[in-house]
Amino acid sequence: MLLAAPNGFGKTAVGLAASLAASKGRVYWVARTLREAEHVRAHIPELAVVVKGRAELCPALPEPMSSEEAAAYCHAVKHRCRHYQAYLDGSEDKCPYYEQFQRALQARLIATTYQMLLKPSLLPQPRSSDVLVVDEAHNALAVTEELSFTQGTVERALSEARAINAPRTVVEFLEGLLTEGLERLEPSVRLSILAESLVYYGRQVRRRLAEQGLRPRSSLHRLGQCLRAVAAGAPFSAEEGYLTAVVVEEPRWPRCPKLFLSGTVSPADAKLLGAEYLDFTEHAPYKAHTIILDGLTTEFEWRSEEMYRRYAELLDRLSKRPSVAFAASYKILQ
């Protein structure tokens, strides 16, 4: 079932009430970001657990990392990590990442991101007796990932390949990318094999760095991932020493009752999701007006105290009576 309703309708409250009443087991609530998942837990903190990734929870990371880098670091060093050993032994100072899955088994509602549910993890998968709620479902129609690299990436990858004594075939391929340019790349079986080789040796580089307590970042690995997508037929563009590939995947949601929530999806989107379409977008008890402004934006790089002050001044001019404001994100709302 897909519920389409505008901001302020109460989709979260409706989704919680309906899913908790209908589920004979757990409720899984997935959103695009952890901030959105935390927002759901705030409604029923006594029943809900938010499952996060290693990048958010690992106490052993030497510096902030991406989710993929944090996973690579954990796999490389957990055999000597005191937090992981404490988790295995059941002693104090347990790893919060692994410990959270034990709490999730006891929770009535598990809130997390699309990625945590759809990619392999320790998170127990929904069963037929559970209910899955997909929040902001317009973000879940397809998962798009943009992969890119530059000539500088190739140069760093070549240095890594030489440092770990990678096979001559790999080194010569990287040298060829530098001398012949990226524009001549095209999908082929050979490119697929070489891409997998780059990913393989990139993992070795990342493991070595992690074992030294350093951030497991590898240009070989990044280059291999991008070329893997190109070899698989992903759309790409290459010009002036820069290549970008776009990978689009349709999420494979678990086989269980599902409720999709959104304010912008259409009946056609509901068909793609295989869901019944419930349209409440025309039943809002207010009329909306569009105002085009100069000098006011919600773009992340422009957010500042000055910009927040402008928001407040605008709201004050628009209404002198008590009102409710809905923003582009929970961060701005705060």
Strands (E) located in 26-108: 27-31, 48-50
Query: Structural domain boundaries of the chain?
Result: 2-139+256-279, 145-248, 300-333
Given this model, what pLDDT does residue 182 score?
83
Residue 331 has pLDDT above 70, yes or no: no
pLDDT band at 258 (very low <50, low <70, confident <90, very high): very high
User: d(Cα 116, Cα 318) in Å, to the nearest integer?
Assistant: 41
User: d(Cα 61, Cα 59) in Å, to the nearest integer?
Assistant: 6
Q: In terms of Cα–Cα distance, which of 245, 194, 188, 190 is closest to 220?
A: 194
Range 77-92 average pLDDT = 91
* Architecture per CATH, 145-248: Orthogonal Bundle (1.10)
Q: In terms of Cα–Cα distance, which of 27, 36, 81 is closest to 57?
A: 81
Single-letter residue type at 70: A
Single-letter residue type at 163: A
Mean pLDDT of the chain: 88
Q: Which residue has the higher pLDDT, 86 or 143?
A: 86
Range 131-145 average pLDDT = 87
Residue 283 has pLDDT above 80, yes or no: no
CB-CB contact of 6 with 111 (8 Å)? no
pLDDT band at 86 (very low <50, low <70, confident <90, very high): very high
Given this model, what pLDDT does residue 164 score?
93
Given this model, what pLDDT does residue 315 score?
82
Q: List the single range of 51-60, 130-139, 314-323 with lowest mean pLDDT.
A: 314-323
Residue 284 has pLDDT above 60, yes or no: no
HSE at residue 111, side-chain half, CA atoms within 13 A, is: 25
Given this model, what pLDDT does residue 322 score?
62
User: d(Cα 35, Cα 168) in Å, to the nearest integer?
Assistant: 46
Given this model, what pLDDT does residue 272 score?
82
Range 130-148 average pLDDT = 88
- The side-by-side arrangement of strands in the sheet containing 2-4 is 48-50, 109-113, 27-31, 131-134, 258-262, 2-4, 277-279
Distance between the two ends of the chain, CA-based, in angstroms? 31
Residue 285 has pLDDT above 90, yes or no: no
- The predicted-structure confidence for 21-46, as pLDDT tens digits, reads as follows 999 999 999 998 898 899 889 889 89
CB-CB contact of 113 with 37 (8 Å)? yes
Per-residue DSSP letters for 109-132? EEEEEHHHHHS--SSPPP-TTSEE
SS (H, E, C) 210-238: HHCCCCCCCHHHHHHHHHHHHHCCCCEEE
- The predicted-structure confidence for 191-215, as pLDDT tens digits, reads as follows 999 999 999 999 999 999 999 999 9
Q: Which residue has the higher pLDDT, 319 or 137?
A: 137
What percent of the chain lies above the pLDDT cut of 70?
94
User: d(Cα 227, Cα 230) in Å, to the nearest integer?
Assistant: 5
Alpha carbon distances (Å) from 15 to 65, 108, 126, 129, 259 = 33, 14, 17, 17, 8
Alpha carbon distances (Å) from 174 to 182, 211, 220, 296, 326 = 11, 26, 10, 46, 50
Q: In terms of Cα–Cα distance, which of 282, 284, 308 is closest to 297?
A: 308
Instruction: Give the number of other CB atoms < 10 A from CB of residue 289.
Output: 6
CATH 3.40.50.300 fits 2-139+256-279, yes or no: yes
